[in-house]
Amino acid sequence: MKRKVFLSTVFSLNLSCLILSSNLLLQAQEANDDAPVRDSLTSAANADPLDIYREAGISKDQELKIRHMAKQFEDVQRVRLKTLFGYLEDMQEYQLKPDPAEAEVMAKQTQINSLRSEISNGRIKLLLDIRALLSPEQKEKLVSLLKERKAKARRRAS
């Protein structure tokens, strides 16, 4: 059971390190309306997460800035993930002890929770920073595209 939780955590954290977060992967998946879900998942993983921003009308300069911000985000997340994996390994060691000290285990869990929060907040900060680069017209177009794709995904799921 603990291994499943660990593997689930590893998987979700790896997804969070994609260039512009799992939200952008979903947007790319929703763009592939004609393919079955498993095929669109494959294409979403291979799609450029900036496609939706290009559809919203970003310039080459904006694209370069977004790519630079994403690179910085990935570098920071890589360090955070490495630290988190270390914390998770520590937690596994506690689980192998017959009577681990509650204070130590809880302190380690607090570190894990804090780092997960930093990872999530970093992802959201990146998305907000990207949104701040857009003109009002681009923001409106982006929101329109997001709503459109969300509606298509709901119809597909029904």
pLDDT tens column, 33-68: 333 333 444 445 567 889 999 999 999 999 999 999
80-120 pLDDT tens trace: 999 999 999 999 999 999 999 999 999 999 999 999 999 99
Residues in the chain: 158
Work out the number of other CB atoms within 10 angstroms of the CB of residue 49: 19
d(CA 81, CA 33): 33
Share of the chain above pLDDT 90, in %: 68
Higher pLDDT, 23 or 124: 124
Task: Look up residue 9 and give its two tokens.
Answer: 């955590």
d(CA 30, CA 81): 28
pLDDT of residue 48: 87
Task: Look up residue 134 and give its two tokens.
Answer: 């857009």
pLDDT of residue 47: 78
**What contacts 152, CB < 8 A, 6 or more positions away?**
30, 33
Number of C-alpha atoms within 13 angstroms, CB side, residue 37? 7
pLDDT of residue 49: 87
Residue with token string 């907040």: 121
Domain layout of the chain by residue ranges: 2-157
